[in-house]
């Protein structure tokens, strides 16, 4: 048992960690301890140089290491003396900066032959340059292979090659920020871990709620398809993957440059950048809207993508990027806003998670691309939220439009048959009218915007029709002249009411006019507009 030493680590300013280090020094052969605190980094760094590699590996797995990192933002790395010298000889800039002489807070005088000492920049410069050039050389080889594969059109191999290149980039980012690689972990986990050091990294990968990333999932699918001798056709994602990879490459270059400057100067620099996200609302209505939304749900971003004034009423169109905001919750927020602000204002709230939008871009990109723009952003919870991996080129198409149009037309015919029967038996007509109106709106929105809304209120659907094409407002007078409040009437007949119909002939005629005019509008859009040529034969 070693004799207890009266050690002091005042530079740490952390009594909990000081006590642990005193215990370590008296239990193990600690050669040196380096500590660096600088404002340009998320973490302070504590590097502990030991004589034994196995002991270093075991201590790195201690629970208290993670506890110190989470509680005090101090990253602790245990490294054996032989590896420390080896990494420095390879020109590793992490070691050159964080293990410099001025960072030493403890040194074992009994084993001076193992003491690690960094040289002056002029002596180290050549090693640094070799390390940096090796990265660029191997990176260029990876990129050359990918370009060749793209020219050959072999989708699976392109994605698996990109996966290897991103893994290579993560190796370097880990070495430059953490001092060692974690190749045994999945790409998802490695990205998540690195975000702790590089918050900006999360801007480049869209993830779901389980710390899985869209692009990494694409790589996995490509690998599985290759194993099953199948092809994955996602050429439109090449550019999105390329952009994410280029951002990793840029982060590596920036870190090389940062460490180079720090090593040369021998001191840290303050490189803090203030958040540039504009959170100031445009007016009092928007301010109240944001406040009401944030009180009800957790939101990543809010986009005000359209503002329409019709008569004395102004309608605000808002897209919320969040998780778990049901349409009932959106309805509650809308009602709360109208009660606070007044009936002169309406709100069309749509909500989707970031991952859902990303996963459904193949069909909806045209719609979301026109909404998710910097000039429309009125709130963001985080400056590091990821951009979407847009499909480039994107070729919008109306998948299943035939079925949507045909179903809507059939409902209109069915409605007409009942509405015009001589016996004036209107049983079930209310539900048919509701079904037609909802079907028309969804189909119309889909044709105009390539977006198919689900489970939103009838009024939201109609407002989205107006967003899709303001010309549809010419039928507003029919809604306004309806014998009762139109949208509550529609919403009321979404469910079964098991009773006899009490409709009057004049009321049926009003509904019939709406059905006839709207189905004519859809017919001109889809058939006359030659979006579906096969419908003409029906």
Q: pLDDT tens-digit profile of 282-328?
A: 578 899 999 999 999 999 999 999 999 887 889 999 999 998 788 88
Exposed (0-12), middle (13-18) or buried (19+): which is 485, by Cβ within 10 Å?
Answer: exposed
Residues 169/197, Cβ–Cβ less than 8 Å: no
User: Which of 73-77, 262-266, 271-275 is the least confident region?
Assistant: 271-275
Task: Give the whole-angstrom CA distance, residue 68 versus residue 12.
Answer: 12
Range name among 121-130, 262-271, 408-417 with the lowest pLDDT average: 262-271
Q: DSSP state, 101?
A: G
* pLDDT tens digits for range 91-119: 999 999 999 999 999 998 888 778 898 88
d(CA 292, CA 437) in angstroms, rounded, equals 30
Q: Measured between alpha carbons, how far is 489 from 207 in angstroms, rounded to an integer?
A: 40
Per DSSP bridges, beta strands 313-322 and 345-352 are parallel
Q: How far is CA 489 from CA 109, 196, 338, 376, 502, in A?
A: 87, 52, 19, 33, 14
Best CA proximity match to 31, nearest among 104, 100, 95, 102: 104
Q: Is the pLDDT of residue 140 over 60?
A: yes
Contacts of 24 by beta carbon, 8 Å cutoff, 6+ apart: 30, 48, 59
Is 318:415 a contact under the CB 8 Å cutoff?
Answer: no
**Which tens digit of pLDDT belongs to each residue from 373-398?**
999 999 999 889 999 999 999 999 89
Q: CB–CB of 248/170 below 8 Å?
A: yes
Whether 8 shows a pLDDT value over 60: the answer reads yes
Residue 278 has pLDDT above 50, yes or no: no
What is residue 407's three-state secondary structure? helix
pLDDT of residue 350: 96
CA 10/CA 356 separation, integer angstroms: 50
Tokens 């070691």 found at:
95
- Give residue 501's pLDDT band: very low, low, confident or very high (50, 70, 90): low
Could you please report the per-residue DSSP string of 511-538? HHHHHHHHHHHHHIIIIITTS-GGGGG-
Q: Please state which of the ranges 24-28, 269-273, 366-370 shows the lowest mean pLDDT.
A: 269-273
pLDDT at 94: 95
Q: Taking residues 249-271, what's their average pLDDT?
A: 80
Q: Which two tokens stand for residue 262?
A: 């720090």
Query: Which residues have a Cβ under 8 Å from the Cβ of 390 and sit 6 or more positions away?
Result: 239, 240, 361, 365, 369
Q: pLDDT digits over 142-164, tens only?
A: 999 999 998 887 788 999 999 99
Q: Residue 75: enclosing H or E segment and its boundaries?
A: strand 74-80
Q: What is the C-alpha separation between 519 and 536, in angstroms, rounded? A: 15
Q: Of all residues in the chain, what percent carry a pLDDT higher than 90? A: 67
Residue of 360, 394, 399, 389 whose CA lies nearest to 159: 389
pLDDT of residue 152: 84
CA distance linking residue 197 with residue 29, whole number of Å: 29
Q: What is the pTM of this model?
A: 0.79
pLDDT, average across residues 322-339: 87
């Amino acid at each position: 048992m070693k004799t207890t030493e009266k050690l002091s680590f005042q530079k740490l300013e952390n009594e909990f960690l000081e006590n642990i280090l005193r215990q370590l020094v008296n239990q193990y052969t600690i050669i040196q301890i380096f500590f660096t605190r600088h404002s340009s980094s998320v973490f302070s760094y504590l590097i502990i140089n030991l004589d034994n590699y196995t002991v270093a590996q075991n201590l790195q797995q201690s629970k208290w290491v993670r506890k110190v990192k989470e509680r005090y933002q101090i990253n602790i790395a245990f490294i054996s003396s032989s590896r420390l010298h080896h990494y420095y000889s390879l020109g590793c800039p992490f070691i050159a900066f964080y293990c410099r002489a001025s960072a030493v807070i403890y040194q074992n005088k009994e084993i001076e032959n193992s003491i690690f000492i960094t040289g002056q920049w002029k002596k180290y410069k050549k090693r640094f340059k070799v390390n940096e050039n090796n990265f660029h050389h191997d990176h260029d080889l990876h990129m050359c292979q990918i370009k060749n594969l793209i020219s050959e059109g072999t989708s699976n191999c392109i994605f698996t090659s990109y996966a290897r290149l991103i893994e290579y980039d993560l190796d370097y980012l880990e070495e430059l920020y953490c001092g060692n690689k974690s190749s045994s972990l999945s790409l998802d986990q490695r990205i998540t871990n690195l975000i702790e050091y590089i918050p900006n990294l999360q801007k480049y990968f869209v993830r779901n709620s389980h710390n899985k990333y869209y692009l990494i999932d694409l790589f996995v699918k490509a690998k599985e398809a290759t194993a099953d001798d199948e092809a994955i056709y996602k050429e439109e994602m090449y550019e999105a993957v390329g952009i994410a990879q280029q951002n990793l490459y840029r982060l590596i270059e920036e870190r090389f440059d940062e460490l180079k400057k720090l090593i040369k100067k021998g001191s840290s620099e303050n490189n803090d950048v203030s958040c540039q996200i504009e959170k100031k609302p445009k007016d009092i209505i928007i301010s109240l809207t944001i406040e009401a939304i944030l009180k009800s749900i957790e939101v990543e971003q809010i986009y005000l993508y359209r503002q329409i004034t019709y008569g004395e009423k102004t309608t605000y169109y808002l897209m919320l990027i969040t998780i778990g905001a049901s349409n009932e919750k959106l309805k509650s927020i809308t009602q709360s806003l109208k009660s606070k602000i007044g009936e002169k204002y309406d709100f069309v709230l749509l909500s989707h998670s970031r991952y859902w939008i990303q996963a459904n871009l193949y069909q909806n990109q045209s719609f979301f691309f026109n909404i998710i723009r910097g000039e429309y952003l009125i709130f963001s919870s985080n400056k590091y939220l990821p951009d979407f991996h847009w499909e480039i080129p994107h070729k919008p198409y109306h998948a299943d439009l035939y079925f949507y149009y045909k179903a809507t037309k059939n409902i209109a015919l069915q409605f007409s048959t009942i509405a015009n029967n001589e016996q004036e038996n209107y049983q079930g007509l209310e539900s048919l009218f509701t079904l037609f109106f909802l079907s028309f709106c969804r189909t119309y929105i889909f044709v105009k915007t390539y977006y198919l809304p689900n489970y939103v209120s009838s009024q939201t659907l109609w407002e989205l029709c107006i967003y899709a094409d303001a010309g549809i407002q010419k039928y507003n007078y029919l809604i306004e002249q309806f014998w009762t409040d139109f949208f509550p009437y529609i919403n009321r007949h979404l469910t079964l009411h098991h009773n006899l119909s009490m409709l009057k002939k004049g009321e049926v005629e009003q509904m019939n006019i709406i059905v006839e005019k709207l189905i004519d509008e859809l017919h001109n859009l889809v058939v006359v507009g030659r979006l579906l040529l096969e419908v003409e034969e029906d």
